[in-house]
């Protein structure tokens, strides 16, 4: 019975936005679909709570079993709760006088530079990996190599005499666009068919199973 109720809820919740998209009746668009959209915003906020519960559980277990790197978990949990406490009790963002709240200070002084540092490491690893692995072994690899070189040069305004910047725009606007459009259309069709399977109850990921 519980499963049937869940399938019916999924069916109705999946069907109403489709009906609302095609039928402009105010009662459907505003009242029913509008309410469902509001619920979705609230439910997604609860998903964040579930996420916090999950990471707390995993890290507490790691600490209690003294697994490798358990001290990192202590720091992780401390940071999680400190930021949450400061954010909830003292607010976020900037104050009217231009000073920042402790939450925003921690974000800008710690999270921001640490995340940027991790991402900037890519430049070093890409250079090293390109030197070792980017080889013209096959026709396809050669095509990729030539296109990448042209785009990299075009992006830094080099080779104007050889019309490299124009060639770069052509690569982006024509072969790249055609391939991207194919990928997007393929993914959209896949997404639509998956959504249909969920609405009809063929796939039931919300029950933790599919048949």
| Residues making contact with other proteins (CB under 8 A) | 21, 30, 34, 37-38, 40-45, 47-48, 91-96, 98, 104, 107-108, 111-113, 115-116, 118-120, 123-124, 126-128, 130-132, 134-137, 145, 149, 152-153, 155-158, 160, 165, 169, 172-173, 176-177, 180-181, 184
Work out the number of other CB atoms within 10 angstroms of the CB of residue 29. Answer: 16
Q: To the nearest whole angstrom, how small is the minimum distance from the Cβ of residue 209 to other proteins?
A: 25
**Three-state DSSP state, 137:** coil
Q: To the nearest whole angstrom, how small is the minimum distance from the Cβ of residue 28 to other proteins?
A: 13
Work out the number of other CB atoms within 10 angstroms of the CB of residue 162. Answer: 11
For other proteins, the closer of residues 131 and 209 by Cβ is 131
173: tokens are: 């606007």
For other proteins, the closer of residues 39 and 71 by Cβ is 39
For other proteins, the closer of residues 21 and 71 by Cβ is 21
Q: To the nearest whole angstrom, how small is the minimum distance from the Cβ of residue 121 to other proteins?
A: 10
- Given a contact cutoff of 8 angstroms between Cβ atoms, the answer to whether 167 and 154 are in contact is yes
**Three-state DSSP state, 141:** helix
For other proteins, the closer of residues 9 and 40 by Cβ is 40
117: tokens are: 């540092």
3-state DSSP helix/strand/coil % of the chain, to nearest 5: 80, 5, 20
């Amino acid at each position: 019975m519980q499963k049937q109720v869940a399938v019916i809820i999924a069916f109705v919740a999946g069907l109403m936005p489709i009906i609302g998209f095609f039928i402009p009746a105010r009662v459907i668009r505003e009242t029913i679909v509008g309410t469902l959209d509001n619920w979705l915003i609230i439910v997604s906020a609860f998903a964040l709570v579930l996420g916090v519960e999950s990471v707390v559980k995993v890290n507490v277990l790691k600490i209690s079993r003294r697994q490798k790197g358990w001290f990192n978990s202590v720091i992780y949990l401390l940071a999680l709760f400190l930021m949450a406490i400061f954010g909830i009790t003292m607010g976020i963002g900037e104050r009217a006088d231009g000073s920042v709240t402790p939450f925003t200070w921690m974000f800008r002084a710690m999270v921001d530079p640490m995340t940027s540092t991790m991402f900037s490491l890519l430049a070093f690893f890409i250079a090293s990996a390109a030197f070792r692995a980017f080889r013209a072994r096959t026709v396809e690899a050669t095509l990729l190599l030539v296109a990448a070189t042209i785009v990299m040069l075009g992006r830094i305004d080099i080779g104007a005499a050889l019309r490299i910047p124009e060639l770069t725009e052509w690569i982006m606007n024509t072969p790249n666009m055609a391939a991207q459009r194919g990928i997007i259309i393929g993914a959209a069709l896949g997404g639509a068919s998956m959504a249909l399977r969920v609405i009809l109850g063929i796939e039931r990921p919300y029950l933790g199973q599919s048949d």
